[in-house]
Structures are given as C-alpha cells and as structure tokens.
Amino acid sequence: MTKQIPPAVTVTDPDAREKLHIAQVLLGGYAAVSVLTLLAIVVFSGNPGIVTDAVWIRGSILAVASLITFALGVSMAKGSRSSHRRVRIIALAQVVAIIVIECVPGAFPVWFKIENGVCGTLLIIVVLLTFARTVRTTFATR
C-alpha cells in the first residue's frame, strides 16, 4: 500500500501568503548566514582559538540543515502541507538546540554564539509565522 502525498494547497489568504513569503525569505537568510559561517570556518581553520572541533561539527551540520530547511520553506510557500509540517518541526528543534548551545559555557567561541543567536532569531520568527492562525488554517486538513 502506497502512502498518499497530500496535494498542495492554494494559498489564497493574503495574510497567510505574506507570512509564508516572509518565512521563506528568513529561511534564505538563515541559509546564507550558515553557509557564510562555514566558509569562515574553512578560512580560519588554522586558528584553534577561533575554530574548534565543536565549531567544525556544529557549523557543518548547520550549513546542511539550513539549506534543507530553505528548500522546504520554498516548497511550503508554494502550498506543500508536508513541507509546512517539516519546517515547523525543524525550525523549532533548531531553536531549542541553539538555546542549549548559548547556555553551555565555554563550549563555543563568542563569535560562533553570536552567529547562532542571529540564526536563532531568524528561526524564532519563522516558528511564529508558521504557527500563525492564518497559516495553520491554510494547511489544515479538510
């Protein structure tokens, strides 16, 4: 038995459309910041005071995850219910992970914590937008 993929919805509500567009743009910003951070990690990899093993691991994971999340955000903005659900879950999980990272003393250099704070701020807004009533109503199963 094959699992049915729910059809995309047409986003007719102007408020929902605007919120989805903003979320998509913010996810693009999250991806850009994460990829630029990975580039900085590569450039400064010879300096262990700036780039630790933890920074390499977390930075690499963030870059990949942000690109996947951005792709899902594009699909979500086009009306994909499954992408909407995935973006909500991933963005919320990333926010929790970022809060944990910010709270662990000495685990990451200050510059990386600032970068994570920027990404966390973008993702908190995405979470709020994707949980907004008009957006939830748009993707509600009828």
Is pLDDT above 70 for 15?
A: yes
Task: Flag whether 70 is in a domain.
Answer: yes
Is pLDDT above 90 for 6?
A: no
Q: What is the pLDDT of residue 1?
A: 60
Mean pLDDT for 29-57 is 95
Task: Flag whether 10 is in a domain.
Answer: no
* Cα distance between residue 64 and residue 75, in whole Å: 17
The pTM of this model reads: 0.90
Task: Flag whether 60 is in a domain.
Answer: yes
* Cα distance between residue 58 and residue 61, in whole Å: 5
User: 66-125: per-residue pLDDT in tens?
Assistant: 999 999 999 999 999 999 999 999 999 999 999 988 888 888 999 999 999 999 999 999
Q: Considering its fold, how many domains does the chain have in total?
A: 1
Task: Flag whether 3 is in a domain.
Answer: no
Task: Flag whether 8 is in a domain.
Answer: no
Task: Flag whether 92 is in a domain.
Answer: yes
* Domain limits for position 98: 15-139
